[in-house]
Amino acid sequence: MNRADIIGKQIKYLRNQAQITQSQLAEGIGTQAQISKIESGEVIPLCTTLYEIAHKLGVDVNYFFNQAYFPRFDYVKEIIFQIRKAIRERNYEEVEHIIKAEEGHIAFKIPINHQFMLWHMGVVEYYIRKDVNKSLDLLESAFMVGKSKSNSLPISIQDIEILNSQAIIYNEISDFAHSVKIYKNALNYLKNMPEIPDKRVVIRLYYGIAKSLFKSNLFKESIIYCDKGIKLCLNEELLYLLGELHYEAGQNHQALNNHIQALDHYSRAKETFHISENKNFLDATERKLSQLSKQNH
């Protein structure tokens, strides 16, 4: 791969991460056709053009030159994969180990990757050391990466995921009002996105806000978000959080003494947890069904 291909690939990658079109990137720089040729590797942009592109994408122009000689895309993707895997497994010590080993690497100095590291440093601070203030400060710093009055990048899916992490922490420290506010902000941001590549992000928000609303005793509003999440799961043919959403809906209906609706949701949750072999939630759902059965007799 020649330097034109590498630089073009880097620009396209960063542009997609920032969720802006070629036309948006070209504004004040050139034409959409020029950006297209640069990204396809047909031409190497002039230094002045590359500087303007770098500024708009929030990176140092030297990043492109460094990457032209030392391409690291696969390396960065592997590190991000390993961190996400450790998060799924709740192995926060491993997350911290990876971050400490890699955060000084030049590839993690560009905004989108630096933001990823700050985000997960915030998660680590909460789940390892229970330092709520430091955790929330790091998450806020992560969210603000690339955002200023003079040069503010559009809200990205990664930004939304950072807000989700903030809302989860507020939920866990029982600040449910703050949690709900952040979830609603995140959902409003999503409305302005032309495309959401991973619908699971939306489902996570629906489930999270439903939980915080339930804990705030706002049962009817919580049901609205449960229903939205369930509908999205069914439309996308996803089992992801489907059982949890039915379980949450069941709890809300039970709190409102809507026993028939509660029974229906718990039964659907049980079926889903059985399929996904989620024993903890399956046991909890069976206890709820048993409790309802006793109440009705």
CATH number at residue 8: 1.10.260.40
CATH of the domain at 171: 1.25.40.10
The reply to whether 149 falls in a domain is no
For residue 108, give the amino acid letter: F
Q: Which of 15, 44, 69 is a domain's end point? A: 69
pLDDT for the residue 19: 86
Do residues 192 and 89 share a domain? no
The reply to whether 210 falls in a domain is yes
Q: Taking a C-beta distance cutoff of 8 angstroms, is the pair 53, 60 a contact?
A: no
Q: Which of 143, 177, 201 is a domain's end point? A: 143
Q: What is the 3-state secondary structure (H, E, C) of the chain?
A: CCHHHHHHHHHHHHHHHHCCCHHHHHCCCCCHHHHHHHHCCCCCCCHHHHHHHHHHHCCCHHHHHHHHHCCCHHHHHHHHHHHHHHHHCCCHHHHHHHHHHHCCCHHHCCHHHHHHHHHHHHHHHHHHHCCHHHHHHHHHHHHCCCCCCCCCCCCCHHHHHHHHHHHHHHHHCCCHHHHHHHHHHHHHHHHCCCCCCCCHHHHHHHHHHHHHHHHCCCHHHHHHHHHHHHHHHHHCCCCCCHHHHHHHHHHHHHHCCCHHHHHHHHHHHHHHHHHHCCHHHHHHHHHHHHHHHHHCC
Report the percent of the chain where pLDDT is more than 70. 93
The reply to whether 101 falls in a domain is yes
Instruction: Give just the sign of the alpha carbon dihedral 129, 80, 172, 170.
Output: positive
The reply to whether 148 falls in a domain is no
Give the total number of structural domains in the chain: 3
Do residues 223 and 294 share a domain? yes
Do residues 45 and 87 share a domain? no
The reply to whether 204 falls in a domain is yes
The reply to whether 57 falls in a domain is yes
Q: Taking a C-beta distance cutoff of 8 angstroms, is the pair 206, 229 a contact?
A: yes
Q: Taking a C-beta distance cutoff of 8 angstroms, is the pair 251, 266 a contact?
A: no
Do residues 169 and 226 share a domain? yes
pLDDT for the residue 57: 86
The reply to whether 216 falls in a domain is yes
Do residues 101 and 234 share a domain? no
Do residues 160 and 297 share a domain? yes
Do residues 174 and 91 share a domain? no
pTM over cut 0.75: yes
pLDDT for the residue 215: 98
The reply to whether 191 falls in a domain is yes
What tens digit of pLDDT does each residue of 57-72 get?
Answer: 887 777 776 666 554 5
What tens digit of pLDDT does each residue of 198-252 get?
Answer: 899 999 999 999 999 999 999 999 999 999 999 999 999 999 999 999 999 999 9
pLDDT for the residue 67: 65
Q: Which of 115, 143, 171 is a domain's end point? A: 143
Do residues 62 and 86 share a domain? no
Give residue 121's domain range: 73-143
Residue 254 scores a pLDDT above 90? yes
Give whole-number Cα distances, 137 to 47, 124, 158, 166, 215, in Å. Answer: 37, 12, 17, 10, 25
Do residues 32 and 81 share a domain? no
Do residues 170 and 96 share a domain? no
Do residues 196 and 283 share a domain? yes
Do residues 95 and 220 share a domain? no
Q: What's the rounded Cα separation, in Å, for the pair 97 and 75?
A: 17
Which of 24-33, 38-47, 131-140 has the least mean pLDDT? 38-47
pLDDT for the residue 127: 97
